[in-house]
């Protein structure tokens, strides 16, 4: 139920929040559109990579950490779609 829906909920929230942040950064001329794409693309690729690597060291006694890392690893890459 809730655990299987959690990645999609997190993905929807992150996409919305990051899209607003990205638009604000571009609108206020803090960064250019190209640099915003680079920043959010880099975050969307680098952090999930670290989460999946960290997941390989999680034991069976840490199921909550495993779920959190799977959500981060699978859904944070959607930051690329928010730009």
Higher local confidence (pLDDT), 66 or 82? 66
- Binned at pLDDT 50, 70 and 90, residue 77 comes out as confident
pLDDT surpassing 70 at residue 82: no
Higher local confidence (pLDDT), 3 or 34? 34
User: What is the pTM (predicted TM-score) of this model?
Assistant: 0.74
Where b means 16+ CB within 10 Å and e means fewer, 10-44 reads bbeebeeebeebbeebbeeeeeeeeebeebbeeeb
Overall average pLDDT of the 47-54 stretch: 91
Q: Burial of 79 by CB count in 10 Å (0-12 exposed, 13-18 middle, 19+ buried)?
A: buried
pLDDT tens readout for residues 13-42: 888 888 899 999 999 999 999 999 899 888
């Amino acid at each position: 139920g809730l655990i299987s829906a959690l990645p999609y909920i997190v993905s929807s929230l992150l996409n919305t929040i990051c899209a607003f942040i990205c638009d604000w950064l571009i609108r206020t001329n803090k960064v250019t559109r190209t640099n915003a794409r680079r920043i959010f693309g880099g975050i969307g690729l680098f952090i999930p990579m670290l989460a999946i690597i960290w997941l390989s060291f999680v034991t069976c006694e840490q199921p909550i950490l495993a779920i959190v890392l799977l959500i981060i690893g699978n859904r944070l890459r959607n930051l690329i779609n928010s730009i």
